[in-house]
Structure 1
Amino acid sequence: MNGALSTVTIVAALVLAAWYLLRAALDRAPSRFDLLAMAVFGALVTVLVVVAVVGLFDGSRPQETGTFAGYLITTVGFAPTALVLAKMEPTRWGNLILGIGCLILPVLVLRLQQIASVTGA
């Protein structure tokens, strides 16, 4: 796992989570900017996952490759799922969905780092 890219992803997720949760607390529906920000964040997460998949083929695989693959699939699918659910809910709850999604993604990234660090992947 790329340390700098993981850190950028985690920080971006936490900043976005604070933004979305603040907007939900202010009773605001997701704006185009909110949805676009989540789409851009989803692209960042996709880059992180692609880098991790490429790292699987350099010879240093994690001991729990199946678990690692499961976390990769969950991580890459989480942001788009939250985005679709938020678009379906055009009230303050849409921002809450985005905020909770952004709070869960750092946990997934940290877990990927933990699994990869067992073998130095």
Structure 2
Amino acid sequence: MNRPLSSATIIAALLLAAWYLVRAALDRAPNRADLIAVAALGALVTVLALVAVAGLFDGSRPSDTATFAGYLFTTVAFAPAAAWLARMEPTRWGSLILGVGCLVLPVLVLRLQQIASVTGA
């Protein structure tokens, strides 16, 4: 796992989570810019996943490749799923969905780092 890219992903997700939770508290629905920001976060997560997959081919694999692949798939799919659900709920709850989604992403990235660090991947 690329530590600087992982850190950037975690920081971006936490900043967006704070923004969306404040918007939910202020009774604001997600707007187009909010959905674009989640799409940008999803792109950052996708780049992180591609770097992680490329790291699997350099010879250092995690001890449990299946678990690593499951977390990787979930991490990539999480931001688009949150954006899709928030788009279906055009109220303050859509902002809450985005906020919670952005809070879960750092946990998934940290878990990927833990699994990868077992063998130094």
TM-score by length of 2: 0.99
Matched residue SS, 1:63: coil
After superposition, give the CA deviation of every residue in 1:63-95 in whole Å (9 maximum; x if it has no partner). 010000000000000000000000000000000
How much has 1:50 moved relative to structure 2? 0.5
**Match of 2:68?**
68
Give the aligned length.
121
**Match of 2:15?**
15
After superposition, give the CA deviation of every residue in 1:10-66 in whole Å (9 maximum; x if it has no partner). 000000000000000000000111011001110000000010001001100000100
**Match of 2:3?**
3
User: Which residue identity is paired with 2:74?
Assistant: T
**Match of 1:29?**
29
**Match of 1:51?**
51
Matched residue SS, 1:40: helix
User: Which residue identity is paired with 1:94?
Assistant: G
Matched residue SS, 1:108: helix
- Determine whether 1:102 maps to 2:80: no
How much has 1:100 moved relative to structure 2? 0.2
Matched residue SS, 1:83: helix
How much has 1:2 moved relative to structure 2? 0.1
**Match of 2:113?**
113
Distance 1:15 1:89 in 2: 22
Unaligned residue ranges in structure 2 (runs of 5+): none
- Percent of matched pairs sharing the same residue: 77
User: Which residue identity is paired with 1:43?
Assistant: A
Q: Runs (4+) of structure 1 moved beyond 2 Å?
A: none
Distance 1:46 1:63 in 2: 22
How much has 1:113 moved relative to structure 2? 0.2
TM-score by length of 1: 0.99
Unaligned residue ranges in structure 1 (runs of 5+): none
